[in-house]
Amino acid sequence: MKDPLFDPIKINQLELKNRIYLPAMHLGMANNYEVTDQIVEFYAERARGGVAMICVGYATVDELSGNTTNIGAHSDEFIPGLARLADAIKDNGARSCAQINHAGRYNFSFFLNGKQPVAPSAVASRMTGETPKALEKKEILQIINNFAMAALRVKKAGFDAVEVLSGTGYLISEFLSPLTNQRTDEYGGSLENRMRFGLEVMGAIRKQVGAEFPLIVRMNGNDFMPGGQGRDELREYAKALAEQAGVDALCINVGWHEARVPQITAAVPRGAFAYLSRGIKEVVNVPVIASHRINDPDTARELISDGMCDMVAMGRSLIADPYLPEKAREGREEEIVHCIACAQGCFDNLFKLKHVECLCNPRAGHECEGACELARTPKKVMIIGGGAAGMSAAIAAADRGHQVSLYEKNAELGGQLHLAGSPPGREEFIELAYDLETQVFYRDIDIHFDTIVDADVIDNEKPDHIILATGALPMTPPIPGVELPHVVQAWDVLADRVYTGNRVAIVGGGAVGVETALLLAEKGTLSADVLKFLFVNRAETPEVLYEMATRGTKEITVIEMIDKIGKDFGKTTRWGMLQDVKRYGVESKVTAKALEINPYGIKIETGDGIEEIPADTVVLAVGSRPVNDLQELIKSKNIPCDMIGDAQKIGMAFDAVHQGYRAGRGI
């Protein structure tokens, strides 16, 4: 049977070998606009993995359009670096494309040596906190020309196509949206006028690159901005791009960076926004590419075969596993390591001005360091602990050619990943547990379940090297009454090992406390299936259904000592989690100290004095402590040992996977 995912397709005259497109993603790897070895190797690896086309960037069109960590396309001096990148992609089997863009009001004066960002109108950005300079007519015409010349440089560098970013809140979409375009000249007012800048950009590019050079536009299907643009106007814009501007394909994304609808986090269902690409596909006659949260071949196939799109954009999916396309083509899909939409290594890194990495793939962003090479002298390696850190270490050590044995005290691998995947919208963490487990099983690793390691086990194993990855256990705070029967640990709630009453007080407002609160807040709400059934049959009004989908049967209060909750979430995830806390009616008490637990609730002290919160169940989420009891025993046996993950220091899953990889590779 023909696989729709591997059916060739043409964009203009360019034939692509399959329907998988790697969209442009800011990597933070350029050096003063120059293409680096790190960028070249990152994309070469993904080209080897079987993707049809790779789009790099975005690349700048002038000095106000980005910053020095972007790839440069605003000067001829950058053409050699662009050519090197295009060649690396094509030489390794993929078609090459470069995205060009102007950030508009989304740029920071900090990155522009104090210069003011520009936009169609002087409307402040909530993301940057800055007000841009309104562009004059002559400046608009210059930027249009800058786009065209940047596209020509892309072509001269040897790329197979050029893409223009016309969404996400950047300059072209700022002209399109009535929210940011308050002009009264021919570039503002009516939809026809607001589309003018984008259409003129595409027309100028077409004149420079010629009729047969593929021109792709990445645009919003909905900007999700109050007062902005919904589906109807953007469908009209898509029609104009295809019919008036000669655009050859449309890649559909969603939302602006300021939008309050989650777009890339694990809470977004797989393929959720394909309805937008479908809506645009219905009104244009060029290939349409769906985007966002398409992280597995089955979802991709379904979207294509159901007519929702012609191609799929898989960005972070190919950061997590560059060889996803080839594994799917060869029928090895069980070996794919899926992106779990945690954003810990990709988007969160960019906020820290670091280059892109990946929780699921410790090699991402480090391709220049090469893969694990076989060790000159294979050793017998014993790994104690089968969580994220231990499995990552086992995989890397096995790839080095060592004889690896993995000991786990429980009946399954994965450790705290199973807890992390318990709250609503976080299920992808369990997918990572299974993916790592599969990687372990596909290697020659001796696995011992239900085994408590002691001196006898170590003596029988006779290892040359030990990696201690025994994880952590939850802490119990010294609060009077903590021993009462209605006091439970958050880990037990997440693992569904205990029941909770209708009134729940959670001590600790970090990530675990918030996730536990959201898990409990969904108790008694409508499931997705029931919600759809009631909605389709018009059994209740949308307002009632919303209420029933967000109001459960429990009263939940989170108690936190510092002045905010969720402090240890990554920036990409935190705002969405806190939005849900408010939406689901979870109450929070910050700068609050737990004084005493009694049979009826918990007594706390805040700046307003002492109060008692009634609670049928008190949940402890006050952190965890490393478990490394075997350290001294191993030391006494003079066996070389690495301690990783939470056993060394409490951290995030990202830290565990990367430490495990480095430890296994380092033996």
- CATH code (residue 288): 3.20.20.70
Q: Mean of the pLDDT values across residues 308-319?
A: 97
Question: Is 1's pLDDT higher than 80?
Answer: no
Question: Is 607's pLDDT higher than 90?
Answer: no
Beta bridge partners of 53: 21, 95
Same domain for 629 and 581: no
Same domain for 640 and 556: no
Question: Is 96's pLDDT higher than 80?
Answer: yes
Amino acid at 345: G
Q: In the block, which residue shows the tokens 């299907």?
A: 221
pLDDT digits (tens, 9 = 90+) for 367-388: 999 888 899 999 999 999 999 9
Q: Mean of the pLDDT values across residues 82-94?
A: 98
pLDDT tier, 552 (very low <50, low <70, confident <90, very high otherwise): very high
pLDDT digits (tens, 9 = 90+) for 97-140: 999 999 999 988 878 888 899 999 999 988 888 899 999 999 99
Same domain for 303 and 423: no
Same domain for 324 and 192: yes
Domain assignment present for 597: yes
Same domain for 412 and 558: no
Token pair, residue 87, equals: 């060649």
Question: Is 169's pLDDT higher than 90?
Answer: yes
Q: Mean of the pLDDT values across residues 413-440?
A: 94
Residue 347: the pLDDT is 83
Domain assignment present for 629: yes
Same domain for 591 and 557: yes
Same domain for 395 and 336: no
Domain assignment present for 615: yes
Question: Is 523's pLDDT higher than 90?
Answer: yes
Contact 126, 258 (CB under 8 A): yes
Same domain for 537 and 497: yes
Residue 468: the pLDDT is 97
Beta bridge partners of 250: 217, 288
Residue 636: the pLDDT is 94
Q: How far is CA 129 from the centre of its chain?
A: 24
Q: Which residues in 122-131 are b (16+ Cβ under 10 Å) and which e?
A: ebebeebeee
DSSP structure class, residue 195: H
Amino acid at 516: T
pLDDT tier, 262 (very low <50, low <70, confident <90, very high otherwise): confident
- Residue range(s) defining the domain that contains residue 456: 373-473+625-665
Q: Which residues in 636-652 are b (16+ Cβ under 10 Å) and which e?
A: eeebebbbbbbbbebbb
Nearest to 19 by CA among 416, 357, 361, 307: 307
Q: In the block, which residue shows the tokens 């030990």?
A: 466
Gyration radius from the chain CA atoms? 27
Same domain for 629 and 609: no
Domain assignment present for 234: yes
CATH number at residue 645: 3.40.50.720
Nearest to 299 by CA among 319, 281, 288, 314: 314
Mean pLDDT of the chain: 95
Same domain for 328 and 364: yes
Question: Is 353's pLDDT higher than 90?
Answer: no
pLDDT tier, 352 (very low <50, low <70, confident <90, very high otherwise): confident
The 3-state secondary structure of 506-532, one letter per residue: EECCCHHHHHHHHHHHCCCCCCHHHHH
Domain assignment present for 478: no
Residue 110: the pLDDT is 78
Segment (H or E) for 612: strand 609-614
User: 29 by DSSP, 3-state: which?
Assistant: coil
Angle between helices 231-243 and 191-209 (to 10 degrees): 30
Separation of alpha carbons 591 and 107, rounded Å: 35
Q: Mean of the pLDDT values across residues 608-623?
A: 95
User: 620 by DSSP, 3-state: which?
Assistant: strand
Q: How many domains does the chain have?
A: 3
Q: Mean of the pLDDT values across residues 485-494?
A: 97
Cβ partners under 8 Å of residue 489, min gap 6: 474, 476, 619, 620, 621
Alpha helix stretches (DSSP H) within 406-489: 417-420, 428-441, 455-461
Q: Mean of the pLDDT values across residues 175-200?
A: 97
Segment (H or E) for 14: strand 14-16
How do the residues of the chain divide into helix, strand and coil, expressed in percent and rounded to 5?
35, 20, 45
Segment (H or E) for 162: strand 161-166
Sign of CA dihedral 460, 463, 467, 468: positive
Domain assignment present for 349: no
Domain assignment present for 241: yes
Residue 184: the pLDDT is 96
Nearest to 135 by CA among 149, 148, 122: 122
Classify residue 541 by burial, with Cβ atoms within 10 Å: 0-12, 13-18, 19+: exposed
Residue 129: the pLDDT is 87
Which of 605, 622, 639 is where one domain is finished?
622
Question: Is 524's pLDDT higher than 90?
Answer: yes
Q: Mean of the pLDDT values across residues 413-419?
A: 95
Domain assignment present for 155: yes
Beta bridge partners of 60: 72, 101
Residue 11: the pLDDT is 98
pLDDT digits (tens, 9 = 90+) for 438-482: 999 999 899 999 999 999 999 999 999 999 999 999 999 999 999
Predicted TM-score (pTM) above 0.85: yes
Token pair, residue 644, equals: 């990783």
Q: Mean of the pLDDT values across residues 311-340?
A: 97
Token pair, residue 666, equals: 């380092």
Question: Is 250's pLDDT higher than 90?
Answer: yes
Contact 54, 41 (CB under 8 A): no
Separation of alpha carbons 307 and 274, rounded Å: 10
Same domain for 448 and 330: no
Which of 333, 368, 403 is where one domain is finished?
368
CATH number at residue 523: 3.50.50.60
Same domain for 139 and 263: yes
Separation of alpha carbons 336 and 353, rounded Å: 29
